[in-house]
Amino acid sequence: IENVWNRFLLSPTEMAGFIDGFDSPFVGSYLDVANVLPFGYPEQWLRILGERVVGIHFKDFRRAVGTAEGFVDLLEGDVNWPELMAAIEAVGYQGPVVAEMIPLYKHYPEVRVANTSRAMDAILGRD
């Protein structure tokens, strides 16, 4: 279950309770870190959801914009990447992290791929 801007499951405790209500290993959280930013902190969500997290979207967002136009390239927004990575380590998350980049570049979209790859390498400590 991904946290999206639909006014449903607005806190990590709500999401944890919802997931736990299924009592199934097949229901978990796909945490989109940028989608949390308008009303919370992704590192807190991750620490609270813990083992319920089965996937993570790496995406960035500027809180001051506050609308869909606030989505920006990785490392250009307000995600506290060092804190998020500390939370990933603290909960022992070993699952996938996937870049979700919006909006698309109007021209030369391959540049976004290269920029995203470099940013993810930096975030994941691969440089």
The pLDDT tens digits of the residues spanning 11-54 come to: 999 999 999 999 999 999 999 999 999 999 999 999 999 999 99
Q: Which two tokens stand for residue 61?
A: 């967002």
The whole-angstrom separation of Cα 79 and Cα 57 is 12
The two tokens of residue 70 are: 């606030």
Tally the residues of the chain. 127
| Domains and their CATH numbers in the chain | 12-123 (3.20.20.150)
CA–CA separation, 108 vs 73, rounded Å?
15
Tell me: pLDDT of 103 over 80. no
pLDDT tens profile 60-102: 999 999 999 999 999 999 999 999 999 999 999 999 999 999 8
- State the pLDDT at residue 105: 87
* Cα separation, 104 vs 107, whole angstroms: 9
Q: Identify which of 7, 15, 67, 24 has the alpha carbon closest to the alpha carbon of residue 46.
A: 15
